[in-house]
Amino acid sequence: MARFITIEGGEGAGKSTAQQFLASKLISMGLSVTLTREPGGTPLAEELRQTLLNPHGEVPVEMAELLLLFAARAQHIAEVIKPALDRGEWVICDRFTDATYAYQGGARGMSVEVITQLEKMVQGALQPHQVILLDLPPEVGLERARARGELDRFEREPMAFYERVRSGYLGRVRTMPDRYTVIDASQDLQGVEDQLECVAQGWLAE
């Protein structure tokens, strides 16, 4: 049965690494898996990603940033996510709308009601079956991100911004606990992967 799984967390939390690990586990169990990411996932959405993450270009105003994220999402859902789910595949997406609530809602302070309206317009009934939240203190994740080279536009905010992102995610976990699996991402990679393996085994046992 098709499943839509999203992986969330702050900068450098280990989302891409976790995505690859989960995919290898699911594929070894005989499942078809589509890996994708947000913003991005289609040629047009990847162009919008470049615009959004560019640290040197014109800075989008908050509403433009929000609308560009949902424009990319609309394209991504129509071209990649829904077709893969319709084919019966598992879709593992590196970030989705929970990131919008955490970054644009929690950290930028944009209206949650506006985000919810856009979510309904763009997604209809589509929601992740499960969200994996890789939680860690922002300074740990930023250190990992910095070790990789030039920082994108979202990686140049003051520390308070990332604290609000983290609180935004954890606030959503408190209100919708069944939606999330929270993993302590500050532990070493082996520890994270052991927990992810348990999560994958649990899905397959359902």
Q: How many residues bind ligand T5A (CB under 6 A)?
A: 25
Q: Is 135 in the site for ligand T5A (CB under 6 A)?
A: no
Nearer residue to ligand T5A within complex by CB, 17 or 34: 17
Q: Is 69 in the site for ligand T5A (CB under 6 A)?
A: yes
Q: Is 189 in the site for ligand T5A (CB under 6 A)?
A: yes
List CB contacts of 1: < 8 A, sequence separation 6 or more.
Answer: 88
Among 3, 4, 15, 75, binds ligand T5A (CB under 6 A): 15
Where does this chain touch ligand T5A (CB under 6 A) — which range of 7-15, 22-30, 83-91, 168-176? Answer: 7-15
> Residue 184's beta-bridge partner residues?
135
Where does this chain touch ligand T5A (CB under 6 A) — which range of 55-63, 76-84, 115-123, 182-190? Answer: 182-190
Taking CB atoms within 8 Å and a gap of at least 24, the contacts of 186-191 are: 186/136, 186/137, 186/140, 189/14, 189/17
Burial class (CB in 10 A: 0-12, 13-18, 19+), 151: middle
Task: Tokens 């105003």: give the residue.
Answer: 61
Q: Is 144 in the site for ligand T5A (CB under 6 A)?
A: yes
Where does this chain touch ligand T5A (CB under 6 A) — which range of 76-84, 99-107, 121-129, 170-178? Answer: 99-107
Closest CB 18 distance from ligand T5A, rounded Å: 7
Tokens of 62: 């908050």
Widest pairwise Cα distance in the chain? 49
Angle 197-130-136 from CA coordinates, rounded to 5°: 70
- List residues binding ligand T5A (CB under 6 A): 9, 11-17, 38-39, 69, 94-95, 99-100, 103-104, 144-145, 148, 154, 185, 188-189, 192
